Amino acid sequence: MIAELVGRLRQGDRNALARLVSHAARGEHLTELQRALTPSLTPARVVAVTGSGGVGKSSLIGKLISVLRSQNHRVAVLACDPQSPLSGGALLGDRFRMGSTTDDGVFIRSLAALTGHGAVADHLDVVIRLCEKFGFDVVILETVGSGQGDVEVRNLADVVVLLVQPESGDDVQWEKAGILECADVVVVHKADLPTAEQTAAQVRAALDLSPGRDVPVLRVSTKANQGHAELWQAIVALPLRRRQPSPACMLMQSLSDILSAQFREKESAPELAKLAEAWQRGEITEAEAVEKLVRILLMHQPDEPEA
């Protein structure tokens, strides 16, 4: 089934893309997907847009889509929204602010981000590769940057764009401890407000505390429709950073190698196989799977030879 869907994906079948993204987001068939998704010869430029709630990320991304489509880029937007505690789905499904829902050159998908997972959805690296394989040359990740812990998106993106807004008070001080240090571009959004330049000055002062980093600070206003083309120019001027999956994901993807011949005859093999299946079905998170993996291996490690 997965091989057939991947074949249809390569032929430009959007339904196949949507189904494969759903499988990946749920942690299903990950081994098959990893084998089928060979590295792209023309990888997409992956841009993370992050910032606190209400800063206007979706509205800004909508304007960026217009700039990119005017330059014939094909754009995928993966919006990592907080998971609903009731339905388990993405809590903020208001993708209407981005527009472009009928444009074949645009793909917009909301993905649920679990609490404590660095504000990114599980298996996001696989979803990015699906979008690359489909032919999107720009992938935009939207995440809620909520402090020092939520910097995992840097491992998945070539460029991290942080949005702050005027009159944010101590938010700049709060964010500089974590996500500000990971930003490649800082955008003072809603720059039509009167205190925008003051906020930009605060951000530049905070960035001066990290010598050796030349981080552009731009003023952009979606309401006034200003600064979006300049923002994209600043993004493409930056060197690409090699993207990496999270350490937990890398370890779990090697689980199939652990289930090699040397384990198949041992009592730990059924437990490892069951663990791998549970992770691939999305019944447990990567962090939980890694913890269980370590426990199994420690429990079944060979005895020390007697002296």
List, for residues 77-94, the tens digit of each pLDDT value: 999 987 654 444 444 444
Here the tokens at position 274 are: 């069951």
Give the separation between CA 190 and CA 163, rounded to whole angstroms.
10
User: What local confidence, expressed as pLDDT, does residue 115 receive?
Assistant: 54
Regions of the chain short of the pLDDT cut 50: 85-94, 116-117, 148-149, 174, 176-177, 256, 259-262
User: What local confidence, expressed as pLDDT, does residue 251 receive?
Assistant: 56
Beta strand pairing call for 159-164 and 75-82: unpaired
User: What local confidence, expressed as pLDDT, does residue 9 receive?
Assistant: 94
User: What local confidence, expressed as pLDDT, does residue 174 receive?
Assistant: 46
User: What local confidence, expressed as pLDDT, does residue 282 receive?
Assistant: 54
Could you tell me the pTM of the whole model?
0.77
Strands in 159-164's sheet, in edge-to-edge order, are: 106-113, 75-82, 138-144, 45-51, 159-164, 185-188, 217-219
